[in-house]
Amino acid sequence: MSETVLTLADNLKDRARAALGSRNLILVGLMGAGKSSVGRLVAGQLGIPFIDTDAEIERVSRMTITDLFAAYGEEEFRSLEARVMKRLLKGGPRVVSTGGGAFINDRTRKHIKRGGLSIWLKADLDVLWERVSKRDTRPLLKTENPKQTLENLMNARYPVYAQADVTVLSRDVRKEVMASEVLAAIASTSVESPKP
């Protein structure tokens, strides 16, 4: 890699880090949008911690997301998710990857809005389906027609995700490219102090 390319990449990281300030970066979007994989890269580039809320929920509950859904239902899971999110966003800065339904929940969305800069990783159906159909760990897709269920989730959730502070198009490119685009999106925002 040439010195000029490295300098540009470092400059982008520095500008993004300065723009983020002490705020958290919260990635929202549907399952398969790349929140965890891109989030880890962005956190590494910014030199701040990365937290996956689903992993944190599993850690504190000592149950998998699938088991939580089965045992307690979606409503109780969303309540737990809101409590975990509120706690995670008290400190910062950090990169936080949320579950697909987190931003849809009113309470959780308020915590996210107060807790930092939200970025929606928006992807089309084919990109999402290509990514999620490889694993059988998505409780909301355990239906007769999972691709149709995914499309229904898109139709219901995309208007809510559009309330995020910034939107970045997640598409079929290397995750390093997506991470750079997220950094550029952060760098283009102004530094704000967290909302009370």
pLDDT (tens, 9 = 90+) of the chain, 196 residues, equals 445 545 656 788 999 999 999 999 999 999 889 999 999 999 999 999 999 999 999 999 999 888 888 899 888 888 999 999 999 999 889 999 998 889 999 999 999 999 899 999 999 999 988 888 776 666 566 667 888 888 999 999 999 999 999 999 998 899 999 999 999 999 998 655 444 4
Burial of 133 (0-12, 13-18, 19+ CB in 10 A): middle
Residue 194 falls inside a structural domain: no
**Residue entry with tokens 């701040």:** 48
Q: What is the CATH number of the domain that holds 142?
A: 3.40.50.300
Residue 99 falls inside a structural domain: yes
Residue 159 belongs to domain spanning: 3-187
Residue 192 falls inside a structural domain: no
DSSP 10-69: HHHHHHHHHHHTT-EEEEE-STTSSHHHHHHHHHHHHT--EEEHHHHHHHHHTS-HHHHH
Q: What is the pLDDT of residues 56-101, one digit of tens each?
A: 999 999 998 888 888 998 888 889 999 999 999 998 899 999 988 8
Residue 193 falls inside a structural domain: no
Residue 178 falls inside a structural domain: yes
Q: How many domains does the chain have?
A: 1
Residue 59 falls inside a structural domain: yes
